Structure 1
Amino acid sequence: MALTMPAFLLPHTVTVKPYTGTGAYGPTFGRPFSVRRAYVEDRRRLVRASDGAETISETTVITRPDPSVPAGSEVTVWPGTPAERTAIVITASTFDHPSAPAHLEITLT
């Protein structure tokens, strides 16, 4: 049985608009949904995108591995606060190990 990330470590809520592709007018997105158990950390770091390009991530979000958050999705962090902002997903990586809590790490622009 896989361990899940304890709720007390995930005190934040984020809103995700999943990327579904590109249409005639640019990127298209699915129906937005809230992730009520997340950890948001504003920390600048260098990451490698799925196409191999190096880019700067301003924010990392950690959630339980349940939601599907493809690269290119829009994520709103700190909703309802003066720090609220929407950013694009650079990468979403699932971490799953039998002796550690499974989680999804999302890097944002």
Structure 2
Amino acid sequence: MRRVPPSLLRHRVRIEPYLGDGAYGPAYGAAAEHPALVSTTVRMVRSADGRAVTSTAQIIAAPGLDCPPGSRVTLPGGRVTTVIVSTGHTAPGLPVPASTEVMAE
């Protein structure tokens, strides 16, 4: 399976994976930087619970990215946003690269 070429991932994003709610509010995992391709276009997307919500940042990254809904993402410009939905894309046998697509508020 081919992966999205690293040369296309021109941005760096900082991701703090959402772990769940704790006694003091949301809990996040250790922050890590990842290469990505970021688009700041306004789009309507469906959240995990089926609601139509507005996404203002779309991120393409390498497959296997740990970025569940609710995770905090710091975009290249410094804006911090929250993940709405994260999806892995694969196409075994086809000449298209595998990747992870993240839609954020």
Q: Deviations over 1:23-58 (max 9, x none)?
A: 1221110111110x2000000000000011110000
Q: Distance in 2 between matches of 1:89 and 1:107?
A: 6
Q: Distance in 2 between matches of 1:7 and 1:21?
A: 31
For 2:102, give the aligned amino acid: I
Give the TM-score normalised by structure 1: 0.91
For 1:84, give the aligned amino acid: G
Give the TM-score normalised by structure 2: 0.94
Q: State the superposition RMSD in angstroms.
A: 0.8
Q: Is 2:86 the partner of 1:92?
A: yes
> Which stretches of structure 1, 4 residues or more, deviate above 4 A after TM superposition?
none
Number of paired residues? Answer: 103
Percent of aligned pairs with the same amino acid: 35
1:18 maps to what in 2? 17
Alignment equivalent of 1:48, drawn from 38, 42, 46: 46
For 2:86, give the aligned amino acid: A
Gaps of 5+ in 2: none
* Displacement of 1:67: 1.7
Gaps of 5+ in 1: none
For 2:53, give the aligned amino acid: T
2:100 maps to what in 1? 104
Alignment of 1:24-43 (within 5 A): 24-35=23-34, 37-43=35-41
